[in-house]
Structure 1
């Protein structure tokens, strides 16, 4: 059979551990846990452990659905391939362009989180440990000055792209940085349990009865913050050497490891400082010049008098959002790359050098820098709920619906697809309803929906509109060239 679309030229060099590393870091147990625990301060009756486990269960059908799809259709930019070949070229283009725009809009957020959640408390804790007040002053000045914040976030974005510009550099750095992240998480858990006395002056007894409505609401935040982002192997499907072992490690093992680490981190927090102590310190701070906005602050506390270990923990925390950002780079560039190969975007965006779609990556960088200026320097921020719900509705729900068509490849796909749709709709309903009901001063609703309302609205409409316009323009251009664009989408493309 002759394919209208050529082979991609991407190399199959990713092993099982690479697939594991990509998905483990995309879920990000330490980074992903910080936000739900911050939100938990507004719903004191929520059980952290039950919320974490329930959130993991809610996403399990989606995880298995992606696993089956990737195994039977191992293609890079998998989400785009599944939707475009199931629901048609218009739906596929809207999904792809929406993801490209969303990843670009989300990039500055990740860079800002790296600064607020890691760099600032990291510098402060190192300053305290080494008795260096200059580091504490530098950390405080970054957050208080928009220009300094812009410079720092720009540096993080550039580092993410530089580490992604070569296939060998990308894969090697991802492996080692993931190992470093795991070491740091283990050390934090160890420190909280073994050096429990370090938290004694901040620990508070907790007697709030479990509220199951609040527990369900918090579980939805766990989904939006971390568990839903368990589809990293789908972006690299055509580059994984052995699909059977690669996708099993990439989906099943990585997800299991992330959930286990999340549960142990929560248990360690509850054992050391306690829920009440953690919530109180998060809201009111403590008698140390270290920001309590991040899990890192609590993770380094036992090691303030052991500088060498503290530095290792801080260095490991630098990977939390950096690795996520690196996946953003490659995911968005592979979407652009696939659109170019399907003749939706100009062909030069499909050029591959050193195993990387370089031109697609440069376009992604350009768009990200524009949104960084808008979001970081001008202060137009998107709310957590809108950002998370956008991914649920426009990405995961769409893929789940599209996957029903592929149930002829494996009957289990139909089951996982239907269960995914049900669980995702549940998350959307719970988040929106409980957010509306509790909206008020420093409440669940006001926190998750905090942001610039006009920018929130624009982020809802800009991505799908950009996808629709891209398809209409592309179809007209190809028509003038004598090419029927719809024919490209009637086949599963080669690797």
Structure 2
């Protein structure tokens, strides 16, 4: 369950993230919840079938190979050239969709941070088509820089997979925020949801940090490359915040009041 949960359920927000881009009264009301439900049903049924046919422990040992998954199993068992082509093309398109989700979500983060004056204002500018083009340029630049890592060190590139612990820690913070929000606004539903989410992601953070399958630790201890990347990520975030706060204070703007302001919408 830890491997299944860590690499699947936490990222079910991919569907809602993309679906929320759709606008209109007939869509906006249900797009997020429906995409979440559909995604959850599909991935749960897929992994259930894999465990039912081949056994949980066999799958657990085979998934880390990066070759074994329900796509490749379906290809091997199809015994039909047409189905193999459809499945193969589906696998290729699936990876493109994953990339598009990453681009979409990253640009949102950058846009939001720019809008809140943490990042430079240029990253919240839109082109004539309504796209945050400068945020996408930043995304492309960082991606190309990260792609240089395998050129110099394959081990370093593999070690970056262990940084998934950062995502789990981030979602722990979201859960705690939900609890605080629920307490302040007297929302029992939000409090309960926040508590359950926090417990779940604390567990996943522990798994990501202690289970060698996830790359943060190895049989000999903590992966130093992964640890360095994680520490640098947190230090960079702290530095960006304080630099942005200092720059804005010199202009008479206190960005710590951002979430106490009335939203523009």
TM-score class, shorter:
0.7 to 0.9
TM-score normalized by structure 1? Answer: 0.46
Partner of 2:254: 484
Q: Out of 1, 5, 11, which is 1:229 matched to?
A: 11
C-alpha change, 1:457 and 1:463, in structure 2 (3 Å) is same
Kept in 1: contact 2:178–2:193 (CA 8 A) = no
Aligned to 1:412: 189
1:261 matched to 2:46: yes
- Matching of residue 250 in structure 1 with residue 32 in structure 2: no
Tell me the distance in 2 between the aligned counterparts of 1:276 and 1:259: 13
Q: Which among 335, 348, 360 is matched to residue 122 of structure 2?
A: 348
Contact 1:235 1:334 in 2 (8 A): no
Instruction: State how far apart, in whole Å, the 2-side matches of 1:282 and 1:329 are.
Output: 29
Match of 2:223 in 1: 453
Deviations 1:87-110 (A, max 9, x none): xxxxxxxxxxxxxxxxxxxxxxxx
- 1:341–1:350 contact (8 Å) kept in structure 2: yes
Q: Supply the distance in 1 between the matched residues of 2:213 and 2:189 (Cα, whole angstroms).
A: 40
Query: Closer, same or farther in 2 for the Cα pair 1:276/1:484, shift >3 Å?
Result: closer
CA shift for structure 1 position 228: 1.0
SS in 2 for 1:301: helix
TM-score by length of 2: 0.81
Aligned residue for 1:332? 106
2-structure distance, mates of 1:292, 1:396: 25
8 Å Cα contact 2:160-2:226 kept in structure 1: no
- Deviation for aligned residue 1:377: 4.7
CA distance in structure 1 between the aligned counterparts of 2:66 and 2:133, rounded to whole angstroms: 39
Shift of 1:376: 5.1
> How much does 1:431 deviate?
5.1
What is aligned with 1:369? 144
Query: In structure 1, how many angstroms separate the alpha carbons of the residues matched to 2:56 and 2:191?
Result: 44
RMSD of aligned alpha carbons: 3.2
Greater alpha carbon shift after TM alignment, 421-430 vs 335-344: 421-430
Given that 2:160 and 2:229 are in contact with CA atoms closer than 8 Å, whether structure 1 keeps it comes out as: no
Q: Deviations over 1:432-464 (max 9, x none)?
A: 45x3xxxxxxxxx36744599332012211222
Q: Secondary structure at the match of 1:230?
A: helix
Structure 2 unaligned segments of length 5 or more: list them: none
Asked whether the equivalents of residues 19 and 32 of structure 2 are also in contact (C-alpha less than 8 Å), the reply is no
Consecutive unaligned residues in structure 1, runs of 5 or more: 1-218, 284-290, 436-444
**Structure 2 CA distance for aligned equivalents of residues 339 and 236 of structure 1:** 21
What is the deviation of 1:256?
Answer: 2.7
**Paired residue for 2:87, among 282, 307, 313?**
313
| Greater relative contact order (Cα < 8 A, sep 6+) | 1
Structure with larger Rg: 1
